[in-house]
Amino acid sequence: MSAACRLRGVTNSIPLLSELAPQKCQEYSPGKSMLILQPQEVQYCCVSHQSDSQTETSPGLSYHGHLFIQVKSYAQDQWKNAILHCRELLELKASPLSIIVKEPTGFTLWSEDKSVKCALNQPLK
């Protein structure tokens, strides 16, 4: 496995994922990215999407103008599984941008979804 994450501010070395633990990093691939962020770096919201003839609302996340839907939550000891699942999403081209948020009780995987819209007046957090 190549060291694909680079810590912000580190210029001389690229650490292995096992060395990063839940720190901020970005995995680079052409047209695809994985971000690992803290809860205070994102805005939780509700997103809406059209399903058949009705509009459905679900938990969402906003980050720098991009909207994300929640894919899965992981316990603290499931860090490697969260990373692997995120990589699978990127490999399958299911999402060009995925975020893992390190929360106090674990990790949450979010996938960018350009088909959803911010559900106004319905903040999640």
Confidence tier at 50 by pLDDT (50, 70, 90): confident
The pair phi, psi for residue 92, each rounded to 5°, is: -75, 0
Where are the chain's structural domains?
A: 17-118
94 pLDDT band, cuts 50/70/90, is low
* 83-114 b/e (C-beta count within 10 Å ≥ 16 → b): bebbbebbeeeebebbbbbbeeebbbbbbbbe
Start-to-end C-alpha separation, the chain = 37
pTM: 0.69
Specify the pLDDT at position 57: 87
